[in-house]
Structure 1
């Protein structure tokens, strides 16, 4: 599991893996020496605290994987910045997202090959809890290049 998470970010380290009957729970930690403030862009290396985020990742076999990740928060030392404390941003796990980008791309691939209801059923077979409405929201967020369609008329 450690090497799978290392592909997402080399700073990730797995602290524990618990195999349960219904899922795999992974505890991980992100080690970093600093981050840039999302508001002013100033680099900070003064740590404030740690907070945890829980998200779902791609299933291992037919077992869903739940990852609990400890992330650092940092002080912003820039005088004019209104953001005094900020959390480190991860490009592969957008803010407020409960699923990894890898899992979203797999769900998206299923959704573009079948209906949202069928995608919900297939995902539930792998232990991924997602509603057909969430599948539709994921599809609507996906940018589609309209010029690539062979069925589009030239105007």
Structure 2
């Protein structure tokens, strides 16, 4: 399982997974020793706290996947920075997003071919729990990328 997680991001380590029904919850954590402040670019090694963050990803073997990351909040030691703490960020998911970029891409491809109601129904059956309104919001947000 660790090699699947490394495909998502080499900075992640597999911790454990739990399968229940058609769902799989995968817990991961960062292996970075140094994290860069997204606001000023200063590197930090001091951990403020750790919190759990969950998001959906592409399915594995017809299991809907939710990844739970033990996300770190770090201290920024730059006195010039406006932020004293910041959350560790990753390239495969935008800040505060609930779905990975690759899952969003799959949702957009499918929903460009069928109605949002049909896309929602198809995705819920084997890919991810996605509502009609979420699909509409993603389509609106990504309209400039599609044209």
TM-score normalised by structure 1 residue count: 0.86
Question: Matched residues in 2 for 1:20 and 1:120: separation?
Answer: 22
Match of 2:133 in 1: 133
Which segments of 5 or more consecutive residues in structure 2 lack a partner in the other structure? Answer: none
* Structure 1 residue runs of 4 or more that deviate by more than 4 Å after TM superposition: none
Correspondence list, 1:1-155, <5 A: 1-126=1-126, 128-142=128-142, 143-144=144-145, 146=147
The TM-score, its normalising length taken from structure 2, stands at 0.91
What SS does structure 2 have at the residue aligned with 1:14? strand
- Describe the SS at the equivalent of 1:102: helix
Larger Rg: 1
Q: Distance in 2 between matches of 1:29 and 1:128?
A: 22
Q: Cα offset for 1:127?
A: 5.3
What is the count of residue pairs matched by the alignment? 146
- TM-superposition CA deviations, 1:34-75 (whole Å, max 9, x none): 222122221222222222110111112322111111122211
CA contact (8 A) 1:34 1:74 kept: no
Secondary structure of 1:90 counterpart:
coil
Aligned-pair RMSD on alpha carbons?
Answer: 1.5
Task: Give the whole-Å Cα distance in 1 for the aligned partners of 2:13 and 2:35.
Answer: 18
